[in-house]
Structure 1
């Protein structure tokens, strides 16, 4: 009986993580698995992370500042 509850809660939190990952432009399948295994902890971690697009833009900005071509 406990296995059934764990499976149901895993599906619920996996689906919630997948939906939140899609909104934040992250990989939905990976976050489904993280949510399935870790439950609400995975959902909290995902909501704390910034959007992936913003992270990439910040990294590109940092690389352009360090570019030798501008010297």
Structure 2
């Protein structure tokens, strides 16, 4: 059995088809180097494969608003006090306990709070600090 002869025309045509495949892949935002090799080795079938291969999914920018996260700004190692609905002082409570009471609805943003570092009672909304949501 004789081996098939590889002629310069065969190599040139394989190079040309590989180049076409590379160009088409580049236009479709695919890796042109890989598609050059596919076109070089498989010829016209490599070019057809570019069109039948699954396309890249384009990411759609998110339209939903990102809400800021509010945290109570103040010393975490000091005791806090707050005035309940009957204007009775409650406390001492830890920073975490005050945060839990706020998130559960027991304390709202109009509730007055105080700790040792504050000169006067302030509404909770004045001690809140907005932080960006990190995704």
TM-score (norm 2): 0.37
Within the candidate set 32, 35, 39, 2:36 is matched to: 32
Tell me how far 1:2 sits from its aligned partner: 4.5
- Structure holding more strand per residue: 2
Tell me how far 1:6 sits from its aligned partner: 1.2
- Structure holding more helix per residue: 1
Partner residue of 2:74?
none
> How many pairs are equivalent?
55
Q: Which structure has more RCO (C-alpha within 8 Å, separation ≥ 6)? A: 1
Structure 1 stretches lacking a partner, 5+ long: 58-71
Deviations 1:29-51 (A, max 9, x none): 01001101110000001112243
* Superposition pairs of residues 50-61 of structure 1, within 5 angstroms: 50-52=54-56, 54=57, 57=59
Q: Does 1:15 align with 2:33?
A: no
Which of these two proteins has the greater Rg computed from alpha carbons? 2
Contact persistence 1:25–1:51 (CA under 8 A): no
Runs of 4+ in 1 over 4 A off after TM superposition: none
Distance 2:26 2:54 in 1: 13
Partner residue of 1:65?
none
Q: Which moved more, 1:12-21 or 1:1-10?
A: 1-10
Structure 2 stretches lacking a partner, 5+ long: 60-135
